[in-house]
Amino acid sequence: MEAQQTFSRFCPRHPALPPPSHKKFQILPCVVPKNLGIQRLCCSYTPGNKKRVFCVSRTVVDEANKVKGEAATPVRRKKLAVFVSGGGSNFKSIHHSSLKGSLHGDVLVLVTNKPDCGGAEYARNNDIPVVVFPKIKDGSDGLSPTELVDALRSLQVDFILLAGYLKLIPVELIRAYENSILNIHPSLLPAFGGKGYYGMKVHKAVIASGARYSGPTIHFVDEHYDTGRILAQRAVPVLANDTAEELAARVLKEEHRLYVGTVEALCEERIVWRDDGVPLIQSKDNPNEFS
């Protein structure tokens, strides 16, 4: 009902949306999804293919408010948890963007299975609390899955970002943070993903396969390794004489750009879900453009 009321208030006469007579799109009310942190207020579909429903997010509502002379709805700053197992260069890129102000979120906690890794050291040097997960064998250190969920909830973490984390995220965390956990993988999934595909193993496999392109994939996390919904990818050339290290460096540079841009969209609530379950990123500059 709420979606209908909201929808009827904004969409049919909203100037930023294709006019109802627009041949390509017709405006349809859509159900506002639960707890995705995204307001979906207006949807449109290509006639004859009802499956492809595109929804626009609160940006359209803000435009509507502007037209009516009302202030835009301020987007709440998001609370982030980052999970690492190694050097943490993606974590550092995200943290730098948060400090710079381009990323509308704060890293509240660093979670790692390797408390001595470079990412954990950077966190301690920047006053970011470090939590060990999973428990270290025979050690007192570390949380159980339930303890980790409780800790993240008590910090009111909105999103979890995996960045070179090499352990399987348990189903307790997946259920507690549905559609709110992202991972970055250093190949163009679904190729070269799954158990055993991490770090240099991925780049060695790409080169051995003769693939001419590789690149980072950012996806939502489900119970299995690398099978969640793909949100963003960038293609990177594989050169004939590339070593795995050279390819890794080229892909990593693109990872930093892609992860920061994707998390910026996440924090600004510019992620929308197509009716067939594919997540899209809404352009910051043009609310009618999605990628």
Ligand X SMILES: NCC(=O)N[C@@H]1O[C@H](COP(=O)([O-])[O-])[C@@H](O)[C@H]1O
Ligand Y SMILES: Nc1nc2c(c(=O)[nH]1)N[C@@H](CN(C=O)c1ccc(C(=O)N[C@@H](CCC(=O)O)C(=O)O)cc1)CN2
Instruction: Provide the annotated active-site residues.
Output: 185
Binder to ligand Y among 166, 205, 211, 230 (CB under 6 A)? 166
Binder to ligand Y among 221, 247, 263, 280 (CB under 6 A)? 221
Instruction: Indicate whether 259 belongs to the interface with ligand Y (CB under 6 A).
Output: no
- Name the minimum Å distance from CB 67 to ligand Y: 42
Cα angle 145-105-89, degrees, rounded to a multiple of 5: 70
Contacted by 228, from ligand X, ligand Y, none: CB < 5 to 8 Å by type: ligand Y
Identify the DSSP state of 177.
Answer: T
User: Cα(98)–Cα(110) distance, rounded to whole angstroms?
Assistant: 14
Give the long-range contacts of residues 245-251, CB within 8 A, separation 24 or more: 245/200, 245/203, 247/203, 247/206, 247/207, 247/214, 248/186, 248/200, 248/203, 251/186, 251/187, 251/203, 251/214, 251/215, 251/216
Instruction: Indicate whether 228 belongs to the interface with ligand X (CB under 6 A).
Output: no
User: Cα(266)–Cα(116) distance, rounded to whole angstroms?
Assistant: 29
- Name the minimum Å distance from CB 164 to ligand Y: 8
Stretch that binds ligand X, among 37-45, 138-146, 151-159, 195-203 (CB under 6 A): 195-203
x/- site string to ligand X, residues 71 to 110, per CB under 6 A?
-------------x-xxxxx--------------------
In one-letter notation, the amino acid at residue 16 is A
Identify the DSSP state of 239.
Answer: P
ω into residue 190 within 30 of 0, thus cis?
yes
Q: Please give the residues from 116 up to 155 whose contact with ligand Y meets the rule CB under 6 A.
A: none
Contacted by 199, from ligand X, ligand Y, none: CB < 5 to 8 Å by type: ligand X
* Beta strand pairing call for 181-185 and 217-220: antiparallel
Instruction: Indicate whether 202 belongs to the interface with ligand X (CB under 6 A).
Output: yes
DSSP 272-283: EE-TTS-EEEB-
177 CB-contact burial (10 Å; exposed 0-12 / middle 13-18 / buried 19+): buried
Binder to ligand X among 43, 64, 94, 163 (CB under 6 A)? 163
Binder to ligand X among 111, 184, 206, 218 (CB under 6 A)? 184
Stretch that binds ligand Y, among 43-51, 135-143, 217-225, 271-279 (CB under 6 A): 217-225
**How many residues belong to the chain?**
291
Contacted by 163, from ligand Y, ligand X, none: CB < 5 to 8 Å by type: ligand X
User: Which parts of this chain interact with ligand X (CB under 6 A)?
Assistant: 84, 86-90, 119, 163-164, 184-186, 197-199, 202, 252, 255
